[in-house]
Amino acid sequence: MTETWLNKVNWSADGLVPAIAQDAASGRVLMVAWMDREALKRTAETGEAIYWSRSRRKLWHKGEESGHIQKVQEIRLDCDADVVLLQVEQQGGIACHTGRASCFYSKLVHGEWVEVDAVLKNPDEIYKR
C-alpha cells in the first residue's frame, strides 16, 4: 500500500494527531489517544488500533496487556485533516484502563463530576503486573 495518504494528515509540530476510537455498532466514543505516522500506518496495515503513548514514548498496541484489542472497521479523517476517527469493534467490551466500557464515564451533574458507568472488570484482574 502506497503511503502518500499519510502525507494528507495535518500532523502537529510533535508529529502526532489525536485519534478518537468510536464503537462501530453503537456510535459511543470509547477513548481518545494519539497516533504518530507509524501508528496510523500500522493500524491501517494490521486492522487493529495502534497508538503512540506520550507517557511511555513508544507505540502501543491497544489490548497488548489487557487483551481488549480494538478491531478497526473504518478509518476516517476530519475536514481539517487533523483528527483521526477509528470505528472499532472493542474486544471484551472494555476500552478503559479503569475496567469500564468507555473512558468517558464521568458526567457533569450540578457542578460535580459523577462516575455514571460501572466498572465491568477490576483493573487488577486485567493488568497482572
CA 17 to CA 33: how far, in whole Å?
Answer: 9
Report the share of the chain in percent with pLDDT over 90: 91
DSSP class of residue 29 equals E
CA 52 to each of CA 25, 49, 79, 85, 115: distance values in angstroms, whole numbers, following the listed order: 25, 10, 22, 15, 27
Evaluate whether residue 11 is within a structural domain.
yes
Q: What is the pLDDT of residues 108-118, one digit of tens each?
A: 999 999 999 99
Evaluate whether residue 63 is within a structural domain.
yes
| Averaged pLDDT for residues 49-76 | 95
Q: Do you know the residue count of the chain?
A: 129
Query: pTM (2 decimals)?
Result: 0.92
Evaluate whether residue 126 is within a structural domain.
no
**Residue whose cell numbers read 459523577:** 114
Q: What is the pLDDT of residues 27-60, one digit of tens each?
A: 999 999 999 999 999 999 999 999 999 999 999 9
Domain holding 82: CATH number? 3.10.20.810
Q: What angle do CA 31, 66, 78 make, to 5 degrees?
A: 25
Residues of the domain holding 90: 4-95
